[in-house]
Amino acid sequence: DIQMTQSPSTLSASVGDTVTITCRASQSISAWLAWYQQKPGKVPKLLIYKASTLDSGVPSRFSGSGSGTEFTLTISGLQPDDFATYYCQQYNGYLWTFGQGTKVESK
Amino acid sequence: QVQLVQSGAEVKKPGASVKVSCKASGYTFASYGISWVRQAPGQGLEWMGWISAYNGNTNYARNLQGRVTMTIDTSTSTAYMELRSLRSDDTAVYYCARDITSGCLRYWGQGTLVTVSS
């Protein structure tokens, strides 16, 4: 199975900061990667798919990049609404997996 | 608009089975697959498997194969997830989700809490 490893596990940041979360796959997944945001008690929200395509309605301060085994999610100009946990998910082939999550908290 | 409405919370004893439903509306049911994802308390997301609403083909996570069965009822646009031989570590919120393209889960049900306790 393809393992997904996110770093860091927790990230402390302030409003206005640019933050970057990394996701590494245990083998190449081309660009078959999605990013989700989840707030406590809420369902996950799709932010980005195919590594860099912003889902409809997602603010442009979110961006994704990468291919193969290394991917990044960048939030440029962190907003109060962005404090949440972020998950990557690979969907290469028939068995999909999530990363363990990165919590973005207020510094 | 696309909606996925799941069945209510369940409390089960270890060794029992649970079957969670996910009723879809607002789109052509057979055109998209349904995934099931679970989240244990305070933990991350775990993909459990996927079922095609077109032909019922399934893919299951390896660690659940043999204990999980996903089915669909096209007459009611409903997907089901049954998990057998429940253990305490199966306690989680179970979500159904619909993709936009294969694997990208844009639409989510509200979640169903399954508690396994003696």
pLDDT (0 to 100) of residue A17 = 98
pLDDT (0 to 100) of residue B101 = 85
A32–B103 C-beta distance less than 8 A: yes
Locate the DSSP E strands across chain B: 3-6, 10-12, 18-25, 33-39, 45-52, 58-60, 68-73, 78-83, 92-99, 105-108, 112-116
Percent pLDDT > 90 in chain A is 99
**Given a cut of 90, is residue B69 above it in pLDDT?**
yes
pLDDT, tens only, B90-116: 999 999 999 988 889 999 999 999 999
A55 neighbourhood in chain B, CB within 8 Å: 100, 104, 106
For chain A, the average pLDDT equals: 97
pLDDT, tens only, B10-47: 999 999 999 999 999 999 999 999 999 999 999 999 99
A100–B100 C-beta distance less than 8 A: no
Cβ–Cβ contact A102 with B under 8 A: no
User: Which residue of B22, B51, B58, B105 to mutate against A (max A Cβ within 10 Å)?
Assistant: B105
Q: How distant is the Cα of B61 from the closest Cα of chain A, in angstroms?
A: 6
pLDDT (0 to 100) of residue B46 = 98
Cβ–Cβ contact A100 with B under 8 A: yes
DSSP one-letter string for A12-64: EE-TT-EEEEEEEESS--TT-EEEEEE-TTS--EEEEETTTEEPTT--TTEEE
A55–B47 C-beta distance less than 8 A: no
pLDDT (0 to 100) of residue A46 = 98
Q: Which residue in A has a C-alpha nearest to residue B46's C-alpha?
A: A98
pLDDT (0 to 100) of residue A18 = 98
CB of A6 closer than 8 Å to CB of A22: yes
pLDDT (0 to 100) of residue A105 = 98
